[in-house]
Structure 1
Amino acid sequence: MTEKHQLKSIALIPARYASTRFPAKLVQDLSGLSVIQRTYLSTVETGVFDQVVVVTDHEAIAEQIKAVGGEVFFSTKAYESGSDRIAEAAQHLEADIFVNVQGDEPFQDKDSLENLNAVFTDPEVRVASMMFAITAAEAQNPNAVKVVLDKDNFALYFSRSPIPYIREKGEEIPYWKHVGVYAYRKSILLEFTQWPKSFLEQTEMLEQLRLLENGIRIKMVPTAHQAIAIDTKEDLEKAVRWMEEGR
């Protein structure tokens, strides 16, 4: 049996009720089920994980997950990030790999999650995340976080700025957009969330820079899947139309 089959992997879905741009977005209806129910069920349906747990701070979300037969962990205090929230749950669970699946992304992709898990067959990999190719024009958007890589697809740096900078204009190069799905070995998840915020993290407002600044390498996994995230009412309307059109 290979290490791939020996490793136990748990998906943890941080699900905060409050949301600045779209209050209570996770409990909004998305074609008969709520956003968080669809995220949970699509994660389970990938068949990638030994266990899927929704980590929440609110009874309404817990009730919705229990209504579809799901497992819930109640976080005991307010957290600034999803990583902090899932770390509390991970302390009480036994697994080799914990994957932070975004609660507002209701359509999970099996191949991407399988590929993310697979890189942990390399014992040197402690943290992994995903990326997909974007155009130079898309790279100008500061909301699209870019990543540059070393020769082994480990992240060198993440930035809201378009990186790398093209000195010779007219030359075309690939840009990679970071996808905010992280996979951690348990030990580094628990360590990382106890470290103070780092300088670059606070400057760019990107928590993954805390890992890089502390010497933790992040293996990047390419994907063609562009997740639909529900950040606004308009996003929810787009997701409804997407489902009605049969995906």
Structure 2
Amino acid sequence: MTNNVTAIIPARFSSTRFPGKPLALLQGLPMIQHVYRQVAAAELVDRVVVATDDQRILECVQGFGGEAMLTREDHPTGTDRLAEVAETLDSGLIVNVQGDEPLIQSQMIDQAIRPLLDHDDIEMGTLAARLTCPEDFFSPNVVKVVRDLAGYALYFSRAPIPWPRDLKKEELADQLPQLAVWRHIGLYVYRRTLLLDYPRWPETPLEQLERLEQLRALERGVRLYVAETEWDSHGVDTPADLERVEKLMSNKKNVSVQHRIGDPMSRGAVRHP
């Protein structure tokens, strides 16, 4: 087993809200190409592979010079698709970058990988950015994470956690940036051995309740390290999201320090002031 790092981008064609999403065009290029380019730019990534169940996506990736592998169509989750590809690799670390994150920053990927390269006892890693928008804090579509003093995840939830008991709700907008409230960014780094075991584990009670797959790891005692990032990124789930990302890409000023993370008009990768 080598110590190199392979990033795998799961990309399936079927989507209830946005069929064919990986091939949707952004500034004339398919979205999957934007994601691939950002991942390949990460300094700590040695290899990038798109894992897909669709021949059209496979041919698209190969057409722009990328590497792709065709996987089974019946995988229940992206992690299962990831594990199928990981079985064919000899990389020690596997990075999971979602194929609907065209604004992901290469620096974010490196930030997630670095702790596992520096510390052999970390089995799994992910990212979090400070949550500053009250609407996101209360939204069940924005996953929050609570960490211990060493940076390991204590819990992930769709609920607003941790709850600032002594604050009134109207005070939250001003105080939230100073609080230890983190939004989870769905980018994962696994030791290959852990990733191969992951799909074999049955769903756990909290995972089923919250519909958050990462809780399966926590409930089984996996220490999941949550690295901090000054960047944030929001995926494309709907055609409306795609239009927003198109505007952000056309106006790079919109992804500068002038916009807060969580601002509805700046749903891209933005850097904290």
TM-score range, shorter chain: over 0.9
- Aligned twin of 1:107: 103
State which of 67, 70, 73 in structure 1 corresponds to 2:69.
73
Which residue number corresponds to residue 26 of structure 1?
22
Asked whether the equivalents of residues 55 and 75 of structure 1 are also in contact (C-alpha less than 8 Å), the reply is: yes
Q: Is the 8 A contact 1:98 1:184 kept in 2?
A: yes
Correspondent of 1:236 among 234, 238, 242: 242
Partner of 2:227: 221
Return 91-100 or 229-238, whichever deviates more. 229-238
Query: Partner of 1:161 in structure 2?
Result: 159
TM-score under structure 1 length normalisation: 0.94
Kept after mapping to 2: 8 A contact 1:115/1:221 = yes
How do 1:182-201 and structure 2 match up within 5 A? 182-201=188-207
Task: Kindly provide the CA deviation profile for residues 188-247 of structure 1, in whole angstroms up to 9, marking residues without a partner as x.
Answer: 111111100011000000000000000001100111212141111111111111122235
CA contact (8 A) 2:39 2:109 kept: no
d(CA) in 1 for partners of 2:27, 2:228: 30
How many residue pairs align between the two structures?
A: 242
2:125 is aligned with 1:128? yes
Describe how 1:172-211 pairs up with structure 2 within 5 A: 172=175, 173-211=179-217
**TM superposition score normalised by structure 2:** 0.85
Q: Is the 8 A contact 2:36 2:48 kept in 1?
A: yes
2-structure distance, mates of 1:226, 1:127: 20
1:143 to 141, 144, 149: 141
Give the structure 1 partner of residue 42 of structure 2: 46
Q: Distance in 2 between matches of 1:95 and 1:176?
A: 30
Contact 1:129-1:180 within 8 A present in 2 as well: yes
Amino acid at match of 1:211: A
1:4-31 alpha-carbon deviations (Å, 9 max, x no partner): xx83100000001101111111111111
**How many Å separate the matches in 1 of 2:37 and 2:113?**
19
Report the more deviating stretch, 182-191 or 46-55.
46-55
Find the counterpart in structure 1 of residue 260 from structure 2: none
Q: What is the Cα-based RMSD across aligned positions, in Å?
A: 1.5
3-state DSSP of counterpart to 1:147: strand
SS at match of 2:122: coil
Partners of 1:56 and 1:74 within 8 A in 2:
yes
- SS where residue 211 of structure 1 aligns? helix
Aligned to 1:193, the other structure's residue is in SS state: helix
Q: Which aligned segments of 4 or more residues in structure 1 are displaced greater than 6 angstroms?
A: none
